[in-house]
Structure 1
């Protein structure tokens, strides 16, 4: 097998500057974030000639497209790529000596209010996807849906919250989460992601695993069932449903009084709410030799870890190219319901 080589392709404001900066690139960091967050990019460059603080000085909102390419991963002449997406410059840091420039960029457009501006608004008789569509349109983002269910809200209040925080809070109780990536606002059902086939198995002792840690917590993460009840004064009727998964953990019953319009909706809310409470029970972190296939939202199998064996969802993937290529992932164990 041929040795691996890694290169970074950079398109800056529509121009391929890969060759111009490759000798000055000190490090490249790409964080593929999950729930309610934006993806982040960071370039660290030496600037002995002073170009980056003069004629090459980045401007807030400049667009950067980045790609990681791994050569000869399996066979001579082969390559694997990770399209990191499109980012906009957020901050620039200059320091010396030595002269170094750090360019930080995010997947949220620089002129967008989606994360910073606090708003107050009442939403009535509206589906989650409509809320997402309005917020995406205001932010200049395309909405992408990966949902099997579109909750309907009689009324929901946005009270001094950013659009992104409000959207995540509103969707989370139904097991739906949000992500801003590559100029898109994505709404997705995590349970749906958990059902995908694992892309690989990581086994304790594998030579490409650099370090690992796992945690198991029982505090606020071991409810045995969830009961939802709501009395609708308009029709003078009580809606009630209880969800208890197979092989339920020992623990109390989570009881919620939330507005619903049917027993079916109460059951769905009970199932999703129980998942939200229990899903963080088993978590882990693994650092390994760089792997472009490890991306947020995909699943892996973990083996050789005893009680920590099983299927996991990748919550965050950090790819770093600096004197070599490494990947660090944070993961949580799939519940199965």
Structure 2
């Protein structure tokens, strides 16, 4: 059922797979894949995989998409390849002054710099007067901007996908997943730690945002965080989205199940569990670890936020 393509060639029949894991993330880091082969004849040492070589794994109707070799290891008749959805060029720090440019234009340029295509979903395409990138990788820089805009991005199969978090979280689930009472799951409630408001001040502007979530604490971002504010509207928008960022992980959990081809990171679903009915309902998948060797997944989720 597992198929491997390496440097554009189907090598499935030439190898014996020992383990294969695929981690999909909704934001903050690239997807990764780790595959281990039985290699008693030292075949992979002859093939000499190099950092940046393209590799992909298919598991029925799903898979890793195009990935890039990040590291390799040979040990005791086994060969391990670790690959990422992001190309090696993403590790290079850069400096640039961005002026009079829209959010999606930044995304498209960064994607193009690394040989990726670009898509966006539900994004409010704001324009910036001036943003400075100082010895940052393109993707850490872009992540910083996305946080201020309530957005996130993922990279899958050679495409940088930018999305508004509230937009994808708000997509009505089309499937319900039943978590059995004897299943392996965990639900964690840190709602007592919620912030009720955010205040941000830079130069002439002070932004404020409040949400009725029961939280009484105010979040004030560290002054060392590089944030440039050019208008009052921008200050208030950033306060809202920084509050979302600090609060979004307070209600979260995971469960195990079979590999589900219909779901990926940043998908939504309904969950049902007879032992913890207060958790039933709409969830947003933040990370899925597919064990293709065992046909089993560990699915991490969070409860969507309301009001922002």
TM-score in terms of structure 1 length: 0.80
Residue 310 of structure 1 pairs with residue 278 of structure 2: no
CA contact (8 A) 2:99 2:129 kept: yes
Shift of 1:17: 1.8
Match of 1:196 in 2: 171
Q: 2:48 aligns with which of 34, 52, 57?
A: 57
DSSP 3-state at the match of 1:53: helix
Residue 244, structure 1, aligned to residue 211, structure 2: yes
- The answer on whether the counterparts of 2:207 and 2:239 sit within 8 Å (CA) in structure 1 is no
How much has 1:197 moved relative to structure 2? 2.1
Pick from 66, 72, 75 the counterpart of residue 86 of structure 1: 66
Q: TM-score, normalised by structure 2?
A: 0.87
The Cα shift of 1:206 comes to 6.0
- Aligned residue in 2 for 1:15: 9
* Structure 2 CA distance for partners of 1:52 and 1:254, relative to 1, 3 Å: closer
State the partner residue of 1:325.
295
Q: Is the 8 A contact 2:24 2:287 kept in 1?
A: yes
Q: How far apart are residue 276 of structure 1 and its match?
A: 1.5
**Partner Cα separation in structure 2 for residue 14 and residue 159 of structure 1:** 36
Structure 1 residue 30: Cα displacement = 0.9
Consecutive unaligned residues of structure 1, counting only runs of 5 or more, are 1-6, 70-80, 233-237
Quote the RMSD (CA, aligned, Å): 2.5
Alignment pair present for 1:276 and 2:245: yes
Aligned with 1:225: secondary structure? strand
* CA 1:204–1:61: 2 relative to 1, 3 Å: closer
Number of residue pairs matched by the alignment: 300
1:34-183 equivalence runs, <5 A: 34-54=26-46, 56-69=47-60, 81-96=61-76, 99-110=77-88, 112=89, 114=90, 116-183=91-158
Deviations 1:168-199 (A, max 9, x none): 01121111112222111221111111111224
Higher helix proportion: 2
Deviations 1:243-283 (A, max 9, x none): 435xx2231344679725354x5554343232212111111
Q: What residue number does 1:334 align with?
A: 304
Q: Alpha-carbon deviations, 1:47-88, whole Å to 9, x = none?
A: 12221222x33233221222111xxxxxxxxxxx11321012
The aligned counterpart of 2:20 is 28
Report the counterpart of residue 224 of structure 2 in structure 1.
Answer: none
In our comparison, the structure showing a higher alpha carbon Rg is: 1
Distance 1:242 1:39 in 2: 33
